[in-house]
Structure 1
Amino acid sequence: EIFPPRLLQRVRKEAVRFEELGAPARKKVFSFSFQPVPRFENRIPFFLQYLKKLQAERDLCYIYLSNTGTRQRLATLLRESEIPVLETESPLAVPPRSEVALLLGALPGGFSYPKEKLNFFAEKDIFTEEKVIVNRSSRRPFFSQFQDLRAGDYVVHTDYGIGVFRGLQRLEVEGKGREFIELHYRDGDMLLVPVEDLNLVQKFSKAGPGPELPPLDKLGTNTWEKTRTRAKKAVEAVAKELVELYARRRALKGHPFSSAGIWEEEFGKTFEYEETEDQLRSIREIRDDMEAERSMDRLLCGDVGYGKTEVAMRAAFKAVMDGKQAAILCPTTVLASQHLKTFRDRMVLFPVRVEALTRLQTVREQKAVVEDCRKGFVDILIGTHRILSKDVGFKDLGLLVIDEEQRFGVGHKERIKQLKATIDVLTLTATPIPRTLNMSLSGLRDISLIETPPRDRLAVHTVVTPFNAKLIASAVRQEIGRGGQVYVIHNRIEDIDKVAELIVKLVPQARVVAIHGRMGGPALEKRMLDFVDRKYDVLVSTTIVENGIDIPLVNTLIVDRADLYGLAQLYQLRGRVGRSSRQAYAYFLVPPYIELTPLARERLKALKEFSELGSGFRLAARDLEIRGAGNLLGHRQHGTMEAVGFEYYMKLLDQAIRELKGEPVEEENPEIHLKVDIRVPEDYLPQVNLRLNLYKRLASIEDLTEIDRIRQEAIDRFGPLPDPIENLLRYGALKHLAKRLRIRSIDRSEHRVVFRFRPQTPVDWSRVTSLLKRYSGSLSPEGVMSLALRGTTERVLLDETVGVLMELSN
């Protein structure tokens, strides 16, 4: 008997029966025609359409979600779209009226059984945390991982110079399928680069706003060698200046804060959401900086609404627990008011006094706050540039948090510099200005990245279109119809009221209010608060709403004359919507395309391209290309950047800085010929960009732990790994170790593997003896080692080879 009697009764009563099991007895194989369900990658409108189609066909749908909050939000979303819902705990429940059943559980991936009209969806089939597997080391927060590389883009090869990417090519080499990237050079020259060597290829990023691209290099000539040598010399001079600057700043002693106490732990526990992995890492990095002897100067970057404020609150709380004061500097009055409310709500259970200093207060109120702050009675002071005034003093300031540094003028920045000298500084930003990014990229300013969106956040649907009254009317009506609110951005105060009148004319039922920066403080705040309290549906505003006002119900944004704004500004504005689980829309209204300047076209193209979540960094990278890499340390560097591209320039600078700091720099690329299948099969991953992304990451790893991370992400996103990808992961580890050990080449001939070491290899030769014995090996005086490995399959052979290098590097 397979089942005990009681269990048999339960199985008979509750088991799901599939008719195909009743096949003729002579059949040895039972085939279940299960199919995977589509993955919607946060494209909720498509998912809703798909559900409606299934319902029309009378299919049963079950959706498994990870927690009750997500289930409630999805239930609301479905009901809004007139899709009936049944929240149930039992997977065996049959919804009486074909409702969509929402259950709690960790289903790893969805599937359907068309014969029985059954569909099961996992949470990750609908919501996706990131569109492309991206996990970068902190030194290079946005070097292109090729997820946005397209045929026709310019690239830089370390050895051959500037060429044009034409696509991926598959070729048979020694009986194995291999993939290469095809690069075209001057006069029709072509180069095929094996995908395992993509660490030698960078995307060419323009360092200036002009449309002109550099001339292509010619293979077989020394033009690129000359360009590269000139660039290296220029970069070394800059690196020296930067490292000296960095050393001077590091030498400044700061206040080492005490390690976390019980109250800090309690404060962390009162956070009502689950922290994302990036948030937790940023909190740890900031805590370690604050507890160190030197002053902190850290940049915290994260997309709008990704939880930077929570990280800043933890830092401020830590400062206060050590008896120090914290100052939070905001670019706008409205943002300061919002931060005041957020900080007070979050710290209500603790003896922390939080005050604000803005123009919305009376002179008497301001005076009282300033006086108390000077005496040390105020623990956290939040305010606009008013807190930089000469009359504002602190008894014992320990931390300065700057929100959106690029919004402050030169005078304010000088005052911030004076404050920075002795205290810990944390700068928050969503799209860092290029100069800040340049410094962070060079590893000369500490940087923390929050790239993971909150779990059920959806990408903002972005539309760039000429002005169209019907479209505006329909967008406003649609948002009001689902109980939401709308931002209309118009940056000319002179005729802002006319725009408000136009909205009323187009949508008579809309309650419209207008605000701008020249209004009196109390009037501005009253209108803003009335909008927050839903007394109005549409807020017509100048860019005063650009920074930080968090209203989850606003999910449609209309920007008039979007071509006149900078990229960082447009990005900030778009970040004001899409802060809840609803699908949000951003409409950028522009003149007819032909009238746009080339710069405006580039900006709007970049914004549409990077509408996915967590794209602030790649957008800032594009901003560097469009606006020019700015003044890193004087204009003299501009020509060098133009010649080799921003990304390759930064790679050279990074290497030069690491050399000056005495860190190891691996320039040599080992040649590895093991005759194994190391491609990403097209039937496993058909999208070229995702394959390129995987190849590029594995070719560029800096730490063996990255291999496990990539493996987990790939399994999680695309399913169990086929053998060639398992081989590719091992190959990535092998290449990383070979670089570290300064190995020139690794070749395979039948079961013998030959390792050729460079003279400067750090290998401990005393370890080699045991390897030679174990594998019947030999070693020549020239540093050539030959081992007879025992592996009979590709995977075992790779594992053995990796094992040998691990033994030599320990």
Structure 2
Amino acid sequence: MSISGLLQAFDDLPAFQEFLTALDGSEPVPPLELPMSARPAILAKLLAARRVPTVLLTGRVDAVGNWMQALEMWLPSDISAMRLPEPTPLPYDRGPWSERARNGRLQVFTQLMAGQHPQIPAADTPPFIVTSARAFLQKTLPKRRFITATRVLRVGQLIDLEKLAQTWLGAGYEWVSVVEEAGQFSRRGGILDIFPIAAAYPVRIELFGDEIETMRFFNPATQRSLLVDGSSSIDRVVVPPAREALPEVARAYALTLSDTIAANRPDNLPSWQDDLPHMSEGNAFPNLEYYLPLLYPQPGSLLDYLPSNVQIVVDDWPALETAVRELHEHADQIANEQPSLPPNYPSPIFEWEMVATDLNWWQPVVLGSGEAGDRSEERPFLGLADAFDPGPRYGGQVRPLMTQLKTALSDNERLVIVSRQSARLADLWREETKTTSASTLVNITPLHHRQSNQRLHTSSPLHELNELPENGTLTFVNAGLAEGFTLVRRDDNHTLLNLLTDAEIFGWNRPAPRRWRPQRPAAPEAQFADIKAGDYVVHLEYGIGLFQGLVSRNIGGMDREYLLLKYANGDVLYVPAHHADRLGKWVGTDDRPPKMHRLGEKSWTAAKAKAQKAADELAGELLELYAARETIDGHAFTPDTEWQIELEAGFPYRETEDQLRVIAEVKADMERAQPMDRLICGDVGYGKTEVALRAAFKAVMDSKQVAILVPTTVLAQQHFNTFRERLNAFPVTVQMLSRFRTQAQQQRIVRGLKNGRVDIIIGTHRLLSDDIAFKDLGLVIVDEEQRFGVAHKEKLKQWRTEVDVLTMTATPIPRTMYMSLTGVRDISIIDTAPQDRLPVQTYVGEADETRLKRAIMRELDRGGQVFMVHNRVQSISIVYKQLQKLIPEAVIAIGHGQMSERELERIMT
């Protein structure tokens, strides 16, 4: 959803026109002193008006994310923002850069080089880059090195295959058997597959001798040709470097590194000693970027890559300087805490004084405050900030809001409400006015149900707000903005735009949904490429053995291929290649190798028979339960209501494809008369709770009660907070039963369950007590069922014959998985990570205060939180004091199971 049409309101603002005129002059433009709510709109209008390459520089890392969300709402559809990511480790911290950071940075550099590189034509739309101080100050690949490492291939060009492959290896590309990800290439005879870092799809290059005959895009999931803009064939491909620290440069530096290690004794630099062979061989190993400051005596910076007509924009100069100062302080601390760091080791980030001088040469536009001594009072003031007034605050009071809307419309003002509750607000407005006449026209963006495409309101539907509404109209937009404003032309005090958001109306706001980029499924060949010689495999008939590779044997005068398996006592089995489907890769619970079977022994047959017997017993145990479920009619829930659609529209993130599929499966089960018994399996943070929340709300909309059973008090509190926040705008009563509640509160909640005043109850095993009774229970949601005891599961077994049951888990036990995979229970799997979720990185090492401080500071620098686990309550206060001394700037709290309910609840919330 875009509201870029509102940018047209600035066309009638003289102050903005004066601002554009000042930009064309030779003098620096004074700081604009704009309020936070106005900055994204002014920047978007600037981009639309000037159409030149632009870089937005912010302070903290978390500010970049806020800007990206706001710009997604304000930017015209033909302009998109690219983020220059920050390196994953802190400066001087020896650790690998994430693939997202590596690729994202090189994609930005490639975009900026378009039109500057002699063989890379300029893009149709000028680049727009958003970056933080951390990413901006990072030393990088010099521009001249980037140009020499970039290869442009064309149809008809003569190439040397071996030389080209070595060139790509030296530029950081990975040689693989099947190309699936950016930064990979493969070679099969006269065919080259390459996935350039900055490309949307990989390219297949077919050769006739040494000449490039054809080039075409292909789908990495299917490995088949792909149509892009109506054609799969292309005549040229640009292959930029895949690493900022080039392996070819590292190989040349290996001798110098060896001397450095020798001068400092190898025992002082053990990690460097381990990396030396990789550098000598020119390999692109994970920690290569750690040596980036050493590889380039004159490193490059983002400023080096900027074209001559670039416009640099600074969010707020004091905030930028504060972020830079904190960055350098943390970098110095890390450097001082590393005794193994060689003397005169160059800093991986630039000094601010030098960069600030270069930055000022570009005469940046400062949206907020300027440098000290550079205030607008001392220079000609453009008055643009005076055009913005803060919007009125209503604190959730609807009556004053409606009154103000009527007054503004009677004054022929233009009103736009951007809210996640736009449908309800529009309904309230209709009830208030009892009219939809032209003088009070209500434009409502269509809210699409994510499965049925049901549309709520169709009065003047707006798919995109790409035109400025007329004066005297009220427009409702279903979206999220941080804050609104009132735009006033001061010459005649004429109000050009009243923009209201959830922040002004309710006192809170939800972030705009993240744009979802679907993840590509794995290529079919990758499954077979994953099994290699030395892996343990399981044969359906002979058990666990060791895969030795493919061999060719002459049988009956014909050469045939076999999979060679080695078993215990030197036994060998040749499996015909066409029987490969009888093999599977062995997957254990830990890294210990399995015990291999012997050919002909009975242990494997006995193990299969034991498993068969257990399955038969389980089937008999479940037969009665699920036969009863088939014969008992449950409650068939009605289709989604308008409130259900509105609740889902208020989800602050973009659902993954797996989430949408699972939500549809759960709703379909609930709308059948047969009681639901579905298992949702997905990793932590993959969106299972949102699925449960929507199912619970659907049940409440049919006047049914919902019980949510969780194994721990802390998890109950977390779910309670989530449900209460998401359902706060609806007449739904959510309560919690746990030791966080006093006896009096528990008794009151139990009465509420019996008389139906409580709609959703979240609790631990307390919900399974004999005194718990519901007026009309319709849905039971169980989180991590495997963590409940046998007695508790008997109660759950009874529920399964009466009401719909939804079970969620990240780690299903084998029994549960067997029931699901054999069809006894329905299963839904969420295996797609949310957008922008980074992979979990696990490090194991000895207790080290330096490492601990560094990990905590890395999280705090990005605006996050840290949860530290200690193994003893008796000594937890000692650890607390150590952390306070180690990181005095952090706000630290203690929580453990022996604390009082009220105190622990206060800390958790």
Query: Greater RCO between the two (CA within 8 Å, min separation 6)?
Result: 1
Give the greater-gyration-radius structure (CA): 2
Structure-2-length-normalised TM-score: 0.42
Structure-1-length-normalised TM-score: 0.47
